[in-house]
């Protein structure tokens, strides 16, 4: 049975359900491929010091989701 996670993927700016990564390499691959990937990965690593892989991966998605919302809202 494959464990899945639902998260906001900051690289494509969409909510998706994907197989949960089983390793650091898989988690970092999910955050790669975007001009801001370095920022996504740094946020992941910061959270990873006190969380498991999935929780740490979900965190940058939430963080950059709200950042994206702020950038798009009219002021």
Beta bridge partners of 5: 18
Quick: pLDDT tens for 9-20. Answer: 888 888 999 999
Q: What is the helix, strand, coil percentage profile of the chain, to 5?
A: 55, 15, 30
Quick: pLDDT tens for 21-55. Answer: 999 999 999 999 888 899 989 999 999 999 999 99
Residue ranges per structural domain of the chain: 4-72
Q: How confident is the model at residue 65 (pLDDT cuts 50, 70, 90)?
A: confident
| Residue 20 DSSP label | P
Residue 22's pLDDT is what? Answer: 92
Beta bridge partners of 18: 5
């Amino acid at each position: 049975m494959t464990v899945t996670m639902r998260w906001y993927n900051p690289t494509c700016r969409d909510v998706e359900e994907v197989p949960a990564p089983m390793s650091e390499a898989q988690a970092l691959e999910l955050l790669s491929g975007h001009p801001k990937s370095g920022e996504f990965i740094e946020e992941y690593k910061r959270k990873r010091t006190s969380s498991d892989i999935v929780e740490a991966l979900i965190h940058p998605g939430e963080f950059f989701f709200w950042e994206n919302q702020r950038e798009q809202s009219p002021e």
